Structure 1
């Protein structure tokens, strides 16, 4: 039985101070941390040596992209996996697809998704957890693989040259502030309309006017998305090409040609509430109303990794989501559980299991990147090559390296072509596709990269 709360006493403080004084080299450690910070003081130089950029499987993918001051990593990573094919097939090593085009439609569709969720929850108290969660972030830059494919299924894609970056796509905080102000203000109106018993048609008419205003805001900040265009370019051999009168849908079909249904989101979420070998979705997670639903197949870490390796072995890059800030050096481009020894520095055990980190809010997916290589030694992966979207001034010209131990602990999602899945897992997807287990909106597997 828990006893009454106990305050920290003078005797407690004396004990703590005595323990500190008796800790070996305490004063030296204190000076090092005070002068250099926790990370520099605990840095392990052996990690820098071990994480060299040499891989037994190393796909050539060209120059990295740069999402700049925006949270579009999931979008960049997905479009990067698609542009790799164009770069190789059409000899365009620095080619990029328009992240601004998909950004426009994502913001627009997320606004409608938010309005529909506001209407659906209008009978709930404003301080209910679900409504509070909805209002905490009406829309943002983050997303999931299935959300990007939902946009492509509806709107297609275009080259970056057709819809280039703008101030607000590269530096999105001002736009997000304006959109979230409007969406929250509109939520007041929609909840009020439901409370007043207005008809469904009247409420939808209000919503359509709101969406017209959202479209105007997005057009002013991001530009007008093209409906028809010419694809004009010179390849790496300086040969001139032009393909006229394309639409975003015909461009995707002709130059990418993927069946988006062929790709499956795989997660490694080893928490008690999510048994492996089952399909999951997350309530209120998505962007396109009536579009593709987010569906995750939860697998154990060994199967999870073997599928990623199989796809790389076949020359195909892998979209993945991770907690990029954990045990990583952004400037060096190293992600390794051994890069900082905080346990030794503070003489404290900071160890948590992957499941405990998820359950207790210590970790979740924060960033999406692309696996472009892996180093296999004696049949086992030891490190992974990562194409980031932070420009070429970090890592090795924008490429990072992740140790296999880091992959185990902080990678949560990969996207795999279904043809690489064994028949039993394909059967799980088929059998549970229309009835995945629904997780709560705040489940960590619903985190947006």
Structure 2
């Protein structure tokens, strides 16, 4: 019979969300255990946002040189993929060991293996030896995984994790999808020298973002040699003597060396046997209330696997998991969220926060659409496209923004702070920022 371990709180999923919750719980004097079946540290540092941004750093360096080509900078810069991948691997390979070391240093117990519930408060963890874990309260932070394709030859495609560990960049790449990951990886592959074909099932790229900004981004992707096929599906992938063929729904075939599927993500809730614990879920994830409680009042869900209306990004998962921990520790107020910025790390970057610009005027807000390309902050770096829209309420307070530029990830954070502080023109003007920077431009958006 499996050994049974007892804890005040057990957390399944040792990514940023689970780790944050565990730290808060152990700091409050409760016993806690983290259960992980794959890589300690989770998606973001191992095969998600962090390694992606290491690769993107080389793309940004190359782009900044190209922006000033003929305007003060001579010569060409090329990405050495093998060397860049070595840099990425040195970072990611250390993550699991560093994570376990941190758990040990903070007195957080940990069990490795795949877990599933056998009743309302107990799971079996299948590792080298089966172990039962029983806890009073649970937090589920098991995240999501890449969705599969249901087409002939789907097994010949790769997912985002494999892309982030490619030993070499092929000369020709087909990417299936029209969301964040598809655009980001298309940008990276193109900068690394690949001919990229982006196959989008619908008529739009990056649905949910301001269409005018997406159109500008699309022009920029085209300038970088990325070919986009709208209202198109890959219906089959087949091996050839030279690589692969991707058959398109209108009948053409793309010879290629690699096919990446970036067709969304699905929750890992289907691996937990939640029915044994009385926890309700569906295709959108684990159902939770305003306290992030599931239908079992002692089990909470946070992050990508929780069925909430918030963006499924690392920062939200971290925030929700810490909130769930606070409820277990006695907090009795429903969760409230600050403004949540989202960023597509393409070339250029596209970011948004707060009231969506595309719906703002219909909802009674005013919108300012500003071409920043000739502002000194962007002129000096030679950016070919820099644009922002800001949403102001009746009191001229900032409530939303969308930004397209190489510095969009930085500027959107300033807008997020202004929204959370309910700042208007005078509050921004009264602050002193280093000049010239995106921050020092803030007063000109009002």
Name the TM-score, length of structure 2 as normaliser.
0.24
Q: Greater share of strand residues, 1 or 2?
A: 2
Say which structure, 1 or 2, has more relative contact order (CA 8 Å, 6+ apart).
1
When normalised by structure 1's length, the TM-score is 0.24
